[in-house]
Structure 1
Amino acid sequence: METTGRSGVQEVATGAPGAAATQVAQAAQGMPADARRTIDGYLMAAFPWYGLDEAFTGPRRLMQVGASADGTVEHGSTGHGDEPSLRAETDAEARDRQRFVVVVTVASRPLRRSADGTGVLEATSVSSAAWLAGSGLLSCTWPSRMERALRQDWLEQQTAIAWELADDLGGEGWSQLSLPVDGEPATFHYRESEYGWVLAGSAREGVHLGAYGRGMSAYGLGFSVVKDIASYT
């Protein structure tokens, strides 16, 4: 299913046309068909992907990439630990047991024209990573027991709040947290809520980083470039 975000970027598992097809085929050899389709978009990105560093020894997975209308990959997520599930929201004990961290990598882009030439795409920034992380946490923590009409109102309200917070990283809703990125200390904007935590900052490789999680403390995390994206499948 395709969805369009605030910047006009679609969340898709992109294909691998042209010269990159050989690279995709080699990396995907022996994988199930679903895994091959998922990894294609990650391999087509022109920027490095980030995940938790080697100190994390739990399960890792690919989640979703976001591409512009011309197929250019703009951002994506890598998952660590449990797979976020709304089913846990109906069971307090199961919710308390959930332990996951999702790392969002966003390509650093300037203000630019859209592929069809009819408009412009916003420049990406740390706020972009904060928005994607905040909306990602929201997507896996909304109250599933709420009546459907009220749930939609709740989602719209919380989505607006997440965007406002991401657009004001210097505001009272955020604190600062220093975490290693590729072994070097980096400053992140950090906030907690009843649903989990969100952080956002930048890496040296021309990308912005966001992350969200629950059940795992953000204070002991470290991030590094994913050397072999196929290892996440």
Structure 2
Amino acid sequence: METTSSSRVGTQPAETATAPAQPAPQEHPRLSQEAAAAPVPAARRTAEGYLRADFPWYGLDGAFTGPRWLMQVGIGADGSVEHGSTGHGDEPSARGEIATGEKERFAVVVTVASNPLRRSSDGTGVLEATSVSSAAWLAGSGLLAYSWPVQMDHTLRDDWLDQQTEAAWELADALDGEEWSTLSLPVDGEPTPFHYRESEFGWVLAGSTGSGVHLGAYGRGMSAYGIGFSAIGDFGAYE
């Protein structure tokens, strides 16, 4: 289903500023999970890790006028920054709307460096190149980290999250499957196709930009149909 967004709010210029996920059981093409550590309070986050990257970061464009906040970056085996996320709207808690009934409204943008070759953590081999599937998995597993079925006992959450994260990878590896539709959204002002799906936990989308990075996004309480993305020029709006 091809859908083109035409209901974006506001026309002001983009601001010059442009998850946690459970660690995967195997390295495969999945990315380093430095960004999957326990969430750091927004007040203590800085742009230092982001500024070490050699690729552009993305966030929601200037049509979004709400709060912006930093998350964390993922570091590869060679010490380079591989990916990271920026948040928009209400900063979600570890037990989000699914568990508490609170109406959090947020969208997280995941930027993934386009790397044709990555070293394994033990330095003895290489991993598959990053792809749109990499962005889709990070977005899907990031959304899960902020979801917790209310009827679930705390001690069962890790098992549930492991199972759901594995399912998120399988979905991300089959972007042409029936679980995904196609959504066109602006990236730096240019219409760009994204893979899109919804679930009881929220929505997830993934695509690639003309600037050499893959983009993922996830959210809840905010419509994916009305958002757009732009490169971050200054992290001041996020700190």
What is the TM-score with the length of structure 2 in the denominator?
0.81
Structure 2 CA distance for partners of 1:62 and 1:164, relative to 1, 3 Å: same
**Does the 8 Å contact 2:96/2:147 carry over to 1?**
no
CA distance in 1, matches of 2:217, 2:225: 12
Q: Which runs of 5+ in 2 are unaligned?
A: 1-19, 37-41
- Determine if the alignment matches structure 1 residue 131 to structure 2 residue 137: yes
RMSD after superposition: 2.4
Runs of 4+ in 1 over 4 A off after TM superposition: none
Q: Which residue of 1 aligns with 2:67?
A: 59
Number of aligned residues = 210
Measure how far apart 1:230 and its partner are: 3.0
For the residue of structure 1 that corresponds to 2:34, the secondary structure is strand
1:79 aligns with 2:102: no
CA contact (8 A) 1:44 1:73 kept: yes
Name the structure 1 match of 2:159. Answer: 153
Q: Any unmatched runs of 5+ in structure 1? A: 14-31
The alignment-based identity, stated in percent, is 69
**Distance change >3 Å, CA 119–CA 187, structure 1 → 2:** same
CA contact (8 A) 1:59 1:82 kept: yes
Counterpart residue number, 1:182: 188
Q: Which amino acid aligns with 1:104?
A: V
How far does the alpha carbon of each residue in 1:83-115 deviate from its partner, in whole angstroms, 9 at most, with x for none? 1111544432x1xx2100000000000133347
Higher relative contact order (CA 8 A, sep 6+): 2
Higher normalized helix content (fraction of residues): 1
The secondary structure found in structure 2 opposite 1:127 is helix
Report deviation, 1:121.
Answer: 2.4
Q: Aligned-pair distance for 1:150?
A: 3.3
State how 1:15-34 maps to structure 2 within 5 Å. 34=44
Q: Show CA shifts across 1:108-140 (max 9, x none).
A: 001333476312122100000000000000000
- Secondary structure, aligned partner of 1:83: coil
Instruction: State the Cα distance separating 1:8 from its structure 2 match.
Output: 5.3
- Secondary structure in 2 matching 1:62: strand
AA aligned opposite 2:82: E
| Counterpart position of 1:140 | 146
In the other structure, the counterpart of 2:11 is none
Match of 1:195 in 2: 201
CA distance in 1, matches of 2:118, 2:76: 12
Q: Indicate the SS of the match to 2:64.
A: coil
| Partner in structure 2 of residue 21 of structure 1 | none
